[in-house]
Amino acid sequence: MKIHPLFSTFANAVKKAEIESDKICLVSDFLYQPKISEYLGFDLFHVTRGRSIPFATGMKLGNPKLKVVVFVGDLITLGGNHFMHASRRNMDIVVICVNNFLYPKINGKKSPTIKSAFSPYSVFERPVNIPHVARSSRAVYVARWTALHKKELTESMTRALGKSGFSVIEVISPGNCYFAGIPASPKENELIEFYHKNSEIKNDEDTKNVEITAEKKIIVGKFFEKKRPTYIDSYNERHSKVIGDKFKIYE
């Protein structure tokens, strides 16, 4: 089976982070290929569209020893509210946000086109600035790369897997089709290469400046990182103060 570079990169990051496979759990609302789970060797839970983050939250609270990773698509337009609340609470999960929106023009250049589409009308809405939403919602780690920035993406994923708190990595990728019964576009590789060639690395860039537009290159890099107590840490601290010795630490 052809494996998308996103998943092979993630598998490499898990090895670098030295996390045991039975401690990794994947949650996704778009992975429709069971063989991906077999290739990765991790437990994968496929959930309702837009509900992957609350499902992952429940999984983390059920077993805090797990490293829970969410693969979410649709530019967080489905489940965006869950995204922001999990971030402000600093749930200890990693979110890999796969931005598979097809941008028709980047840096003033036209991208390879696809003849067939789900809609005959052009998209006029401005895309969500995912890194800025993540930082504004108090995520502890924020980055963006294209699927072909394999080395940088591996390093970001490794770093995020090693952190405590809500980490977000946006991956620009048109995807190899994730949906059963819908063939992948023959222009897929051209699109991935187009976004990679028309990107510019700017580490530590203010996330207000990384919105994707037709006029400039896609800004990629590690934008933000900090430490703050996770939700479970804050829960234990608060209840210990209020209840005292009678409180049993949540772990």
The domain that contains 23 carries what CATH number? 3.40.50.970
Q: Is the dihedral of CA 37, 42, 45, 51 positive or negative?
A: negative
Q: Is 59 inside a domain boundary?
A: yes
CA separation for the pair 49, 78 (Å, rounded): 7
Spatial separation of the C-alpha atoms in residues 203 and 200, rounded to whole Å: 10
Structure tokens at 248: 């049993």
The top-scoring range by mean pLDDT among 17-21, 178-182, 183-187 is 17-21
Report pLDDT for 220: 98
The three-class DSSP label of residue 207 is: helix
Q: What percent of the chain has pLDDT over 90?
A: 57
Residue 190: what pLDDT? 79
Mean pLDDT on 103-119: 64
pLDDT band, very low/low/confident/very high, at 107 (cuts 50, 70, 90): confident
pLDDT one-digit tens code per residue, 117-160: 444 555 567 788 999 999 999 999 999 999 899 999 999 999 99
pLDDT tens track for 10-44: 999 999 999 998 999 999 887 667 777 788 888 88
Q: Is 133 helix (H, G, I), strand (E, B) or coil?
A: helix
Q: Is the pLDDT of residue 8 over 80?
A: yes
In a domain, 155, yes or no: yes
pLDDT tier at 100, thresholds 50, 70, 90? confident
* Contact assessment for residue 17 and residue 160, using Cβ atoms and an 8 Å cutoff: no
Residue 101 forms part of a structural domain: yes
How many structural domains comprise the chain?
1
In a domain, 251, yes or no: no
**Tokens of residue 50, six digits:** 């837009």
The secondary element (H helix, E strand) that includes residue 68 is: strand 67-72
Distance (Å, whole) CA 64 – CA 48 = 23
> pLDDT at residue 93 above 90?
yes
Write out the residue range of the structural domain in which residue 69 sits: 5-246
Answer yes or no: are the C-beta atoms of 27 and 55 closer than 8 Å: yes
- When the pLDDT of each residue in the chain is averaged and rounded to a whole number, the result is 86
The per-residue pLDDT for 5 is 76
Buried b (16+ CB within 10 A) or exposed e, 163-196: bebbbbbbbbbbbbbbeeeeeebebbeebbebbb
Task: Tell me if 122 is assigned to some domain.
Answer: yes
Mean pLDDT of 186-211: 88
Judge whether 73 lies within some domain: yes
Rounded percentage of the chain residues whose pLDDT exceeds 70 = 85
Tens of pLDDT, residue by residue over 57-78, are 999 999 999 999 999 887 677 7
pLDDT at 42: 87
> What pTM does this model have?
0.89
Measured distance CA(232)–CA(86) in Å, rounded: 12
**Does the residue 130 lie in any domain?**
yes
Residues 144, 169 contacting (CB under 8 angstroms): yes
Q: How crowded is residue 126: how many other Cβ atoms within 10 Å of its Cβ?
A: 9
Q: Is residue 167 part of a domain?
A: yes
**109-123, 142-156, 233-247: which has the minimum mean pLDDT?**
109-123
